[in-house]
């Protein structure tokens, strides 16, 4: 399938997000050798990595937040290249950029909190680590600060076939064909990513909406069953870069399936559960996944 009729360069752009952080983990060669010696191994059988700031919630908060931002970033964008570049649609750009700026501020605030506490955390680590503590393994604060980065770059998406090089006509034609094939494959992969998200959501809903599992036990419900579906419905519209009518139909069907449904109704009413499940299963059977 090709997508030549639409102009991707005016409906989307590329975004590269890079979040780096210090993990405070260090290979302890001495302990690794002691373990091998105690177990009588004939060669190095494993490595012991210690957490230099074991028990530090300040650093854990930075790492956890950075990981959550990456997950959010992947939800809001589509895959493009192995280098990490991802597609952000123009329809989603303003919301994404606003949220990204907020994420950057929150990340920097958490990093600053950690850096302020860093000297105290080293003292606490001496108590936490006991004989494993080695003050020489702790970088100076200014060096630690350089290990934290929150960078992003927006760049334009080229049009398929826009290949300007000064080579022979036949070679140029081959390069254009190669690029267009890669371009179309990347668009296909990006759209398949959206379809996979929809399929995962629907199959999960269908499973949870069954009144009992294979052992006859009634299944529980979490509010995320509906909130995740609602979030996906919004993203389906923003990520539909090819304006795929089938994806839009699936979005409308899913929106209609949960319209006006409350989580308490799903918990308490077998009739509501069956009704929503039937609609979800109908969507699953409607499209070629």
Tokens standing for residue 182: 């890669």
Contact 243, 284 (CB under 8 A): no
Helix axes 90-129, 224-239, angle to 10 degrees: 130
Give me the pLDDT at residue 218, please: 60
User: How many CA atoms are closer than 13 Å to the CA of 124, on its beta-carbon side?
Assistant: 12
Q: What pLDDT score was predicted for residue 105?
A: 98
Residues composing the chain = 289
Nearest to 203 by CA among 259, 269, 139, 285: 285
Give me the pLDDT at residue 67, please: 97
Phi, psi of 149 (to 5 degrees): -140, 145
Please tell me the distance from the alpha carbon of residue 187 to that of residue 132, in angstroms, as a whole number: 51
Residues of the chain with pLDDT under 70: 1-7, 42, 158-176, 179, 212-219
Predicted confidence at residue 28, as pLDDT, reads: 72
> Which pLDDT does position 144 carry in this prediction?
96
């Amino acid at each position: 399938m090709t997508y030549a009729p639409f102009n991707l360069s005016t409906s989307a752009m590329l975004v590269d997000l890079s979040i780096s952080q210090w993990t405070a983990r260090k290979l302890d060669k001495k302990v690794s050798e002691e373990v091998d010696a105690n177990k009588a191994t004939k060669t190095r059988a494993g490595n012991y990595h210690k957490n230099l700031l074991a028990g530090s919630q300040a650093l854990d908060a930075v790492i956890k937040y950075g990981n959550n931002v990456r997950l959010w970033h992947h939800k809001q964008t589509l895959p493009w290249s192995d280098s990490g570049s991802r597609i952000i649609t123009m329809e989603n750009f303003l919301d994404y950029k606003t949220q990204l700026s907020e994420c950057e501020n929150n990340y920097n605030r958490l990093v600053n909190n950690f850096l302020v506490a860093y000297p105290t955390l080293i003292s606490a680590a001496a108590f936490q680590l006991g004989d494993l503590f080695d003050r020489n393994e702790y970088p100076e604060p200014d060096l630690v600060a350089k290990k934290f980065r929150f960078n992003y770059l927006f760049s334009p998406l080229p049009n398929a076939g826009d290949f300007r090089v000064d080579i022979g006509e036949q070679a140029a034609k081959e390069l254009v064909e190669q690029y267009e094939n890669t371009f179309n494959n990347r668009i296909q992969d990006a759209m398949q990513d959206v379809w996979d998200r929809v399929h995962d959501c629907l199959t999960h809903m269908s499973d949870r909406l069954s009144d009992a599992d294979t052992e006859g036990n009634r299944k529980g419900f979490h509010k995320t069953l509906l909130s995740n579906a609602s979030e996906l419905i919004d993203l389906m519209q923003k990520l539909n870069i090819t304006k795929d009518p089938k994806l839009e139909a699936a979005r409308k069907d899913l929106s209609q399936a949960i319209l006006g449904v409350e989580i308490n109704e799903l918990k308490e009413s077998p009739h509501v559960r069956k009704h929503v499940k039937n609609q979800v299963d109908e969507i699953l059977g409607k499209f070629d996944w």
